[in-house]
Structure 1
Amino acid sequence: MPPALPSVSIVIPAYNEEPVIRQCILAALYQSVPAKEIIVVDNMSKDRTAELVRLMQEEYPDVPLILLSQDKEQGLIPTRNHGLDHASGDVLGRIDADSLLEPDWVEQVQRGFADPEVMAATGPVLYYDMPLRRFGLRADDRMRRFVLKLAKKQYHFLFGSNMAIRKDAWETIRTEVCRDEADEMHEDIDVSVHLADHGLKILYIPGMISGMSARRLEDSPKDYRYYVTRFERTYKNHKIHRRVLRVPMLIFMGVYYPAKVLRKVHQVRTRQVVRRGGI
């Protein structure tokens, strides 16, 4: 008899996510294989984020939907850590509040972690509020494969909107991950580096697909550049100076203006369809 597949928890850090939290939870609920638990960690939201989660707990009483509060300090890293520390699954999925998981996401994670050597995994993302979504997914997948090949699999970056880590691996690095009080780094890249420092295997799973918003394109060029250059600051903090690891940063910088135009066109067309009563 084959060994049982690992159970999967889904952890969602949230701060002022009222517009998106319900659809995020619904996508996590409607899975081909159910998650062991869905944990939303509210980080002192000033909007109705926590209230909406409580309403969904009442709406879906048979679903293991858990609301935690992280009110000791503001920030993604302590909020993420709080959720991962309280999750009970064999594998801890971590997504963002604007993530929309594909219906077989948990199933794909279970298959990947059926290999006991796999300690973490990530997959491509689909930008659901951009045009040509499936084309964008293929492009994202090819970019990630390309970077992994260039890095000769020595380093692989996890993506916070779509990642999972084995509970044992999290226990190994949880006290080592950087606190980043200055908020200068990519917290998911930091996790990747700490896993690599222990020689823990990170797997890229093409079928582990999460939708995410392209709302980052709403940032000013200055703010977007600061966000993207977090790659460089994260690796520099860890004294890693391999040029190949700059590739994702350069790609994201290069697509900013054309992607911003595409998003604007898509938004205008969507509003026109709504006005015509098409949606």
Structure 2
Amino acid sequence: MTRPTLSVVVPTYNESAVIEACLDALLAQSDEIHEIVVVDNNSHDDTVDKIKARAADHADATGRDPVVVLHETRQGLPFARDTGLNAATGDVLARIDADARVEPGWANATREFFARHGETYAAGSGTCTAYDLPFQDRFRAAQDALGRTVAAKLAEGDDVDAPRLFGSNMALTRGAWHRIRPHTSTRTDIFEDVDLTICAIENGIRCAIIPDARALISGRRFKSGPLSYLRYSWCDQRTFAIHGRSAERRRAVATLVTATIPFYLAMWVPFRLWNPESSKFELTRLIRPINE
């Protein structure tokens, strides 16, 4: 069994507060990672300085930096993502968010999945839980149970097709990306990962859950203001609309009204009160400025 090489693409825009933790988690698995491609999308804070410092700290004996820093001047996540994926040279191209922290074993699990199942599934997503929100133990248990179920089905040769890729923690073969990229949208008012999923499925690429490829992500979106969260959530139905998927668009609107927004409203206060550093609810956090 030949194990594919793994490139990791990380789009960034003003991520000074989180980029070091993201890179540290990846660099801890550098033996399993061919390259880390960070694409800066016009940051005006010290994100790039921190990236370069981390890369220099982890240069090997030949002076080779394990982190490649690219710059994309066209503003928007799809442009930064495309620049990174186009430049990456691994057999498998992973894509994570700058506020994500891959867990131990993530890179190995991703490579093993594509080594064993890459001929059937050319794309997949790992599971995610939030490191800065409360009540994550039960959600983590559910995610781990899903991973075990998928692993068991894969072992039995059963189908494990997933309905979508999750941009915070996903991977696809380089060949799959080259098939998909002419069809993807660069609009910034849609969910780029849903768009990518639709393009994959329409081009005969099957997607799955990748067992044991776990990542911790930020739940900061749930702490944003109501109008900001509504604008963000509305991208779902708009993505289906540009692909002419009327039935899925209607389901997305129904889910937004009956589940997404009610969940946000019910959890906004406890999520805002939670201090991830002390693991306590603190009333003073409710009056802190909201980071949109």
Normalised by the size of structure 2, how large is the TM-score?
Answer: 0.82
Conserved? CA contact 1:122–1:163, under 8 Å: yes
The aligned residue for residue 97 of structure 2 is 96
Conserved? CA contact 2:184–2:196, under 8 Å: yes
Which 5+ residue runs of structure 1 have no aligned equivalent? Answer: 146-151, 275-279
Deviation at 1:142, TM superposition (A): 7.5
SS in 1 for 2:200: helix
Q: Counterpart of 2:89 in structure 1: which amino acid?
A: S
Which 5+ residue runs of structure 2 have no aligned equivalent? Answer: 149-158, 283-292
The aligned residue for residue 56 of structure 2 is 58
**Structure 2 Cα separation of the partners of residues 158 and 141 of structure 1:** 17
- 1:137 lines up with 2:140 in the alignment: yes
Conserved? CA contact 1:32–1:104, under 8 Å: no
Deviation at 1:144, TM superposition (A): 10
Q: Counterpart of 1:87 in structure 2: which amino acid?
A: A
CA offset digits 1:190-216 (Å, max 9, x no partner): 000000001111011242211111110
The aligned residue for residue 169 of structure 2 is 162
Q: Counterpart of 1:190 in structure 2: which amino acid?
A: D
**Structure 1 Cα separation of the partners of residues 10 and 202 of structure 2:** 26
Distance 1:162 1:105, change over 3 A: same
SS in 2 for 1:113: helix
**Structure 2 Cα separation of the partners of residues 186 and 259 of structure 1:** 23
The aligned residue for residue 214 of structure 2 is 209
**Structure 2 Cα separation of the partners of residues 111 and 268 of structure 1:** 32
Conserved? CA contact 1:155–1:196, under 8 Å: no
CA offset digits 1:23-76 (Å, max 9, x no partner): 0000111128521111111111100011111111211112521111112x1111
Runs of 4+ residues deviating >6 angstroms = 141-145, 152-155, 271-274
Match of 1:118 among 104, 117, 121: 121
Conserved? CA contact 2:270–2:281, under 8 Å: no
**Structure 2 Cα separation of the partners of residues 241 and 144 of structure 1:** 31
- 1:80 lines up with 2:81 in the alignment: yes
**Structure 2 Cα separation of the partners of residues 50 and 77 of structure 1:** 19
Match of 1:238 among 221, 235, 243: 243
Distance 1:88 1:187, change over 3 A: same
Deviation at 1:266, TM superposition (A): 1.7
**Structure 2 Cα separation of the partners of residues 269 and 37 of structure 1:** 31
Q: Cα RMSD over matched residues?
A: 2.7
Matched-pair identity in %: 32
**Structure 1 Cα separation of the partners of residues 190 and 276 of structure 2:** 34
The aligned residue for residue 189 of structure 1 is 194
SS in 1 for 2:48: helix
Aligned residues: 263
